[in-house]
Structure 1
Amino acid sequence: MADRKPEISAAPATSLLRNHGGGHAPVSYLELFFDLVYAFAITQASHFLLMHPGWAGLLEGTLLFLAVWWAWVYTSWVANWANPDRVPVRLLLLMVMFASMVMAVAMPKAFETGAEDMGLVFALSYSGLQVLRTLFMVWAMGRDERAAGINMLRILAWFVASAGFWLAGALAEMSERRITLWAIALAIEYLGPSQGYRVPFLGRSDPSEWRISGGHMAERCALFVIIALGEGIIVTGSSFAQLSHEPLRAIAFLLAFIGSVLMWWIYFDRGAARGAEHIEHHAEPGRIARNAFTYLHMPIVAGIVITAVADAILLANPAGPTSLRLVLFQSIGLLVYVLGVGFFKSYSSDRGNFPVSHMAGLGVIAVTSLVACVRPPSALAFVALTVAALALIAMWEWVSFHGGWRERFRTAFDGG
């Protein structure tokens, strides 16, 4: 990670923006502090999925996660443009941090009805932070460059449009209606970047005009992957600590840890560095940041979160047969993760090919999951086979990226 020193900017003393002409924009300590709230939010999303079994709970948990990711990634864009060393920007990030904390607190009961309903609190905190943060950026960017201010005004218009659906859903008395309205709100927000935030009379934004620090965006997203992996380790460790430690459960605990290590390896061994290099040297870093980091990192983080839930389910009953719920969470979690990393790597590659290693791993996971639905093995055996699929991907890439299998093994074990 780059040294986090106050940014020396050639911008006017009154500017609130970073000077991207000066090279890499360092990740500030305030941004790392800000991420702590989202570590809590990710934990809340995992606990929501654990406490709400079934398809309805999975759908509701997915909507909550999508909102969490969108709030975090848009704030990362803001911190890429705005200078956290400026007091107004620092105060903005702290206010967004508090609103995010309120949002995370409301998550477990965001779909409840009656006296325990926290849907309005969730909707107000989420849509409020998105709208007010963007409104601040309209002012902060517009005072330096009119075109940049208009770009933020387009984004503001889309968030205002989605806010109506967030609030309407929060006021709905039926949870099904809330799900529908909030899904529409998220669809509007996720569609915005791909459509260039087209607004009547204001036109649309062109990603080629977004001046950002590609290295900063890559580092921020890599750090969030670490947060998600850390949350998974916390869920696994806390679940194991609260249960008896018989041999089969200890093996399940080991498998869960190995799975986390392999997910780290698959992303960080080559993918993260190559993605950072790609965006730093690309002629249009804004487009890469939108596609490879804003969109494609969402399934990567989601897969980690869902797999952590599967680990907790396994630890609860490692000796029993594979339940449909375990198959659902383990297979969806790993498939989404491997697909996300695979598309990220293909987008960051000059060839643009989806990695063959990831195709092989996806095939093993899919076949194992289908067989488990027809003839359920033990829960431990099922998870072991899916973790073996991750090991296949990691080993395949490890030996193929450096000149062949035999040469790679000789280099690794000779220390050369």
Structure 2
Amino acid sequence: MTSAPLPRILRRRGEPEYPTFLELFFDLVYIFLLSRLATSLGENLTVRGAAQTAVLLLAAWWVWVLTAWLTDLFDPRLPIIQATVLLVMLGTLLMAIATPYAFGRYGWLFVAAYFGIHLVRDAVLIPGTRVNRPIQARSVRVFFWFGITVAPWVAGVFVDETARLVLWSLAVAVDLGSARIGWPTPGLGRTELASQIFTGLHLSERHRAIFIVALGELILSTGTGLARSGFTAGQVTAGAVAFVSAVLLFQLYFQRVNRILAPPSVTTVERVRPGTSTSYTHLVMVAGVVLVSTGTSMVIARPSGGTPVDVMAAILGGPALFLLGSVLFDAVVTARILWSRVLAVVVLAVVLLCSLVAPAVFRLPPLTVLVVANLVLLLTLVGEGLAARRGRIEAAAPAH
């Protein structure tokens, strides 16, 4: 029996696995999108505002993930794939434009752009893989599940803000959750592949790139906030401390995560779940950087005086969320817990809790709170560096 031919648009084994310039160009739109999210959160720093930002970030992240998987499985040098990526980029730009007003008068634009992206991608992949039904079934399953979530996404456009948040939260949870279980589809089963879905090197580089993009947004917001300030001594100092925050996040990411991002265990993924776990844990880290951006922008705007609880939550919560994401990623890849980072998260949580329980005693200026957060990150970085050095020395020591 002759096996089905491979689709022409499929990436061939042995081809270069590094991201193309087009993929890196695509990532640039996320600087704008993440900036819009951070700014919107800063303007509505409430539990509801945080929930709305989370929903929009999840939707935008899912677009990025599916695009990364698209160029991982299919040949990104083909004109049809390149055109698809550019159209997805345009749709993402429209999503970013609508982001501050997505729970207001421009909810329809956000939803239209979101589903336009998925329709364009599936309009290319489903016909383009028709010569091989098992491969085509992957795209059909994804399309089936987006057909399910279109109802709550569209319905949310026509209801009030609270109902919209509920409906969109449900929709994005189904979007991401369906991938975790392999998009089970009537008549097609689920995606349980005994072949290579993700090339370890390519997807590793894509995750590195999107994290750098998030740091780029943090640098952008720091520079923009300082440029719009009155350049007082406190604001200039806050800008410098915010820059240090970006440096510490960069070092913490590449000191640990970069070492384990593409081990042999991730090079060939036989099920969807491990691949999605890698992306989800990076989502948590990127969300942490977005929250850091919100917090540092507010510190630059007002570095002195008492720190409101919501501002303190942003300043301390951003680093904590990043550290939590890195702990989860390490657990997914190595099955080990980074206790140094767990301890750092606990310390940040304790500082926040103390400010809630005894605000008169722990009434710190915003700049001081940001310095405290940076000290926790710095101590974590130094501690892990010393532990790694001690481990190398012990490994190199001759056995007795």
TM-score by length of 2: 0.91
| 2:169 counterpart residue number | 183
CA contact (8 A) 1:210 1:286 kept: no
Deviates more, 1:304-313 or 1:98-107: 98-107
| 1:15 counterpart residue number | 8
Q: Which runs of 4+ in 1 moved over 4 A?
A: 278-283
How big is the shift at 1:340? 0.3
State the alpha-carbon separation in 1 of the partners of residues 264 and 189 from structure 2: 29
> 1:397 and 2:384 equivalent?
yes
> 1:265 and 2:258 equivalent?
no
Query: How many residues are matched?
Result: 387
Pick from 111, 119, 126: which aligns with 1:138? Answer: 126
| 2:143 counterpart residue number | 156
> 1:165 and 2:170 equivalent?
no
How big is the shift at 1:40? 1.2
> 1:119 and 2:107 equivalent?
yes
How big is the shift at 1:135? 3.7
| 2:219 counterpart residue number | 233
| SS, match of residue 211 in structure 1 | coil
Q: What does residue range 162-311 of structure 1 map to in structure 2 within 5 Å?
A: 162-172=149-159, 174-278=160-264, 281=267, 284=270, 287-292=273-278, 294-311=279-296
CA contact (8 A) 1:45 1:65 kept: yes
The code of the aligned residue for 2:351 comes to T
State the alpha-carbon separation in 1 of the partners of residues 269 and 26 from structure 2: 30
> 1:315 and 2:300 equivalent?
yes
CA contact (8 A) 2:7 2:128 kept: no
| 1:44 counterpart residue number | 36
| 1:129 counterpart residue number | 117
Q: What does residue range 338-377 of structure 1 map to in structure 2 within 5 Å?
A: 338-349=323-334, 352-373=335-356, 374-375=358-359, 376-377=363-364
Q: What does residue range 68-147 of structure 1 map to in structure 2 within 5 Å?
A: 68-112=60-104, 117-143=105-131, 145-147=132-134
How big is the shift at 1:248? 2.1
The code of the aligned residue for 1:49 comes to L
Q: How large is the RMSD of aligned CA atoms in angstroms?
A: 2.1
How big is the shift at 1:23? 5.6
State the alpha-carbon separation in 1 of the partners of residues 217 and 349 from structure 2: 25
State the alpha-carbon separation in 2 of the partners of residues 236 and 274 from structure 1: 30
TM-score by length of 1: 0.88
The code of the aligned residue for 1:330 comes to I
How big is the shift at 1:258? 1.0
State the alpha-carbon separation in 2 of the partners of residues 160 and 279 from structure 1: 33
> 1:335 and 2:327 equivalent?
no
| SS, match of residue 142 in structure 1 | coil
Q: Which has the higher contact order (CA 8 A, sep 6+)?
A: 2
Q: Where do 5+ consecutive residues of structure 2 fail to align?
A: 395-400
CA contact (8 A) 2:18 2:205 kept: no
